[in-house]
Chain A
Amino acid sequence: MATNDSLGTFEQIILTSLVLLGENAYGATVHEKVEELAEGSRSIGSVYTTLDRLEQKGYVKSWFGDPTPERGGRAKRFFKITAVGQRVLQQAMKVADNMVTGLREIGGLA
């Protein structure tokens, strides 16, 4: 299903991280996975603001876990991709796939 809203690269990386992490997706693990996928350093602040934006769009949902001592008694904020988020990510992957196929047909980038 095609959607009107297209995802930015960073949004795609974050949604992919959520899919890869599954039940263990909270701020710190998402940040680590994003840095791994993006092959570079990203600030945790930009990860959180993007997750907030994705939540507003309805692509992600979040909830708070129990406070833990190793976090100074602070709760973890868990994230999960929604069905709409999965559809939008699939659409973005399809577009990326089309681009790769197109480039392969002409023998790659010069």
Chain B
Amino acid sequence: MTAFKIIWLSILSIPEFVRPENSLWQTDELKGVKPLRFVLAPVVLLIAIFAVLVVTSRRNTSGSVHPPLNAAFLLYLFYDAKNCDALVGDLEERYRIIRKRFGARRANFWYWTQVIRSVGPIAWAATKKLLKAASGVAAALEIWRRIRG
């Protein structure tokens, strides 16, 4: 029950619906884990997204020769469309060979493994790019502020 409360409050604290000073966090059992909410919330959300995608992809791909669509979609979330097309094409090329040799279930498993392992580096590269752009904007704003002030 406590675990459920922690997860629920962590998710609610992302958009700050439940602020850290809220009385819900002030109970003895939750006080200690309050600082962890920033880590817990994204982890819980990611697990939930993966679970939903895996479950729905099973329905989508039964009887189809194409790789799991939801797995490919994960890559499109973080990588630009043209390059992602090439990456997904590379995976599909190998997927078809594995499917022919080992069957659809193993091929789907292989595809999901590849995508989950690839999402990390791609998401990290996208984050770094975003941070670089954000720091550029911040620097420009700081220069502008100094010129004005």
Contact = CB atoms under 8 A, between A and B. Distances in A.
A46 B90 contact: no
A104 interface: no
Q: How large is the interface on A (under 10, 10 to 19, 20 to 34, 35 or more residues)?
A: 20 to 34
Interface in A52-72: 52-53, 64, 68, 70-72
A77 B86 contact: yes
B88 interface: yes
B142 interface: no
Interface string A71-86: 1101111000000000
Given A28-B93, A44-B114, A64 B86 contact: yes
A49 interface: yes
B92 A44 contact: no
Contacts of A74: 85-86, 88-89, 92
A31 B90 contact: yes
A46 B92 contact: no
B59 interface: no
Contacts of B92: 70-72, 74
B30 to A, nearest CB: 37
Contacts, number: 70
B86 A27 contact: yes
A49 B84 CA distance: 11
Interface in B107-136: 114, 117-122, 124-125
Contacts of B88: 72, 74
Nearest to A27: B90
A43 interface: yes
Which of B79, B85, B89 is the most central at the interface, judged by chain A CB atoms within 10 Å of its CB?
A: B89
Nearest to A42: B117
Given A49-B122, A64-B82, A27 B117 contact: no
Contacts of A46: 118, 121
Interface of A: 26-28, 31, 43-46, 48-49, 52-53, 64, 68, 70-72, 74-77
Interface of B: 66, 75, 79, 82-83, 85-94, 96, 114, 117-122, 124-125
